[in-house]
Amino acid sequence: MIIFVEARSEVAVAFRTQFEREGIVLVDFRPREFEAWLAGATKAELMSVECFLLGDSSERARSMRLVRGRCQTAAIALSDFSTLEKTLDLFACGVDDVVRKPVHVREILARMRAIHRRSEARVDAVAAGQIRVFFDGRDPEVDGDTFPLPRRERRILEFLASHRGRRVTKSQIFQSIYGLFDDEVEENVVESHVSKLRKKLRERIGYDPIDSKRFLGYCLVEQRPSENDAASRGVVAALSNPQLRNSTNPQFGRA
């Protein structure tokens, strides 16, 4: 998800449409609205933001300082016209890049990814076992072969890969894929997309690489679970079933 701070609604709508064509969610705010949102944003919400995009406005420097007070997420300033002094002021406020309009959204995305690489927050690709996930819009690979996925499922896999080693919640995935204020889509749609993704990966590589914990979220694992781990999970699942726990089966019978 990209946050766009722009005073002119028609400019915001135009950019939002262009980003949607690239499969990227862009949420736009007017400057004062953005300050109010940022003040109350949770860590999970900030974590789902890939980049802050700042349009021309008299409040831009203030907005940028507020961003840097909360996080170090990539930030790009868009300028209708630029001078040396204006550009230097923007860098002094904490932006990572200044781009002169007109500019294609693909260039903005390329600059965003370059910032991620420089900050070591992101890399071009991440390997998780047999899976290789890219962050430039390409489909992932399994054992070196392209593994085509629908856009939503690919974006979910990219989000999990970018947070490998950490568990992410359903809400974090939803905000990253659909944005903060999409009232037309229920958050539970994430479960459906993840379920389809897990099934496809399991059929392709022979095991489920997405570990799910109730109330805790999802995590992309890099190794095939060992037989002991799988057996342990089976025993735990069986013991949690009252019918099996109270059956005459010697493994689960009463002591």
Say if domain 2-119 classifies as CATH 3.40.50.2300.
yes
Q: Which residue has the tokens 């479960």?
A: 191
Predicted structure pTM score: 0.59
pLDDT tens digits in sequence order for the chain, 255 residues long: 899 999 999 999 999 999 988 878 899 999 999 999 999 988 878 887 889 999 988 889 999 999 999 998 999 999 888 788 889 989 999 999 999 999 999 999 999 988 887 765 455 788 888 899 988 778 999 999 999 999 889 999 998 988 877 788 888 888 888 776 556 677 788 899 999 999 999 999 999 999 988 877 899 987 665 544 544 444 434 444 445 445 444 444 443
Architecture of domain 125-224: Orthogonal Bundle (1.10)
CB contact set of 72 (below 8 Å; sequence gap of 6+): 119
Domain-wise residue ranges, the chain: 2-119, 125-224, 227-255
Which tens digits make up the pLDDT trace of 19-65? 988 878 899 999 999 999 999 988 878 887 889 999 988 889 999 99
Contact (CB, 8 A) for 161 and 221: no
How far apart CA 221 and CA 173 sit, in angstroms, is: 17
Contact (CB, 8 A) for 149 and 158: no
Give the DSSP letter of residue 168. B
Which tens digits make up the pLDDT trace of 188-208? 888 999 999 999 999 999 999
How far apart CA 138 and CA 151 sit, in angstroms, is: 10
Give the DSSP letter of residue 37. H
How far apart CA 205 and CA 33 sit, in angstroms, is: 46
